Structure 1
């Protein structure tokens, strides 16, 4: 693709602020880069149902969702790896048995457990507060998470991954042992300060998905740029020639990136695109 780049963008904390606000400069950067012939794709832990209309309307050349479990380019699905219905039932039963609230992440919606809205409220406020969000103590669960569905069937066959609220770090350690045939991680903080655990299909991450996209587009490794803000983005950084961490990102992600731009709310995306000559 010569001078044309394939740009992979995390969403939360990269395109949007942590309270789901998309800076005008981020929209402008993405549209300007695409107008110059670069390919821009979301590469996110979100499933499609989590993307509000304002995000979709920016315009993208594709999406990697579920931290790599779903890959779509130009409306063509290249890969979609589901948690099996048996695995889903196992996770749901395990969470219920421990009294942990959770949600199932699907392209058809985010299907929440019975008391998730109430249980998640203080946890998400803490998450937003750590990120420096103004008014974090007034946020509601549905302000932070788009696409939540309450009261739906929880034994499903369309799930990309499952996130659950940690009552302690021991929940994560026990989940690693319980779901040894799957990939278990944490998010919402570093190490033992994590707020959520998540369970997904083994051997799938953002790097695997990036490679599929690059191959499909006939691009070379040197044509790739990744931008993110969190530990989960590091495999994407490693799979791309150039990596950028947001100023609002975590220390591990900053260390792994080639350079750090400004915070997402301080034109971080636009400033990085400008520095890289994409706009």
Structure 2
């Protein structure tokens, strides 16, 4: 849900005051953008389902994220990687922080995990 003038925090506060938090999951996604899901459903829900289908454990999973709506996913995975330009709460919760998205942060994070060779940095 997006609002043209309210911040995400203000939008969540107003939706909560109106009683929606009792039956919806309201999560900060980006500035002036809130994820709205059924209560108990978030990004971790999809991760757990995918892991079950693949026969893998949460400890084997790695989550990448940048905004507070990624925190449930971080909590259910063995390792978590915050993008360098991510929200402070996400960087604080992560196993480690990689470069920004614009600076090949995803590839750098995969390299830090030993999954691919270190990518070359783009010329400035």
Q: Does 1:259 align with 2:96?
A: yes
Q: Does 1:236 align with 2:90?
A: no
Number of positions where the alignment pairs a residue of Structure 1 with one of Structure 2: 112
Shift of 1:227: 0.7
Relative to the length of structure 2, the TM-score reads: 0.79
The alignment yields a C-alpha RMSD, in angstroms, of 1.9
Shift of 1:166: 5.3
Aligned to 1:181: 23
Matches within 5 A, 1:158-197: 163-165=1-3, 167-168=5-6, 170-176=10-16, 177-179=18-20, 180-189=22-31, 195-197=32-34
Aligned to 2:59: 222
Relative to the length of structure 1, the TM-score reads: 0.37
Shift of 1:187: 3.2
Aligned to 2:46: 209
**Higher-Rg member (1/2):** 1
Higher relative contact order (CA 8 A, sep 6+): 1
Shift of 1:172: 3.1
Shift of 1:198: 4.2
* Structure 1: runs of 5 or more not aligned: 1-162, 190-194
* Structure 2: runs of 5 or more not aligned: 117-124
Shift of 1:231: 1.0
The structure with the greater share of residues assigned to strand is 1
Query: Per-residue CA shift, 1:162-221, capped at 9, x if unaligned?
Result: x131533654323122423222233324xxxxx234432111011122111111101122
Q: Name the CA shift for 1:226/1:174 in 2 (closer, same or farther; >3 Å).
A: same
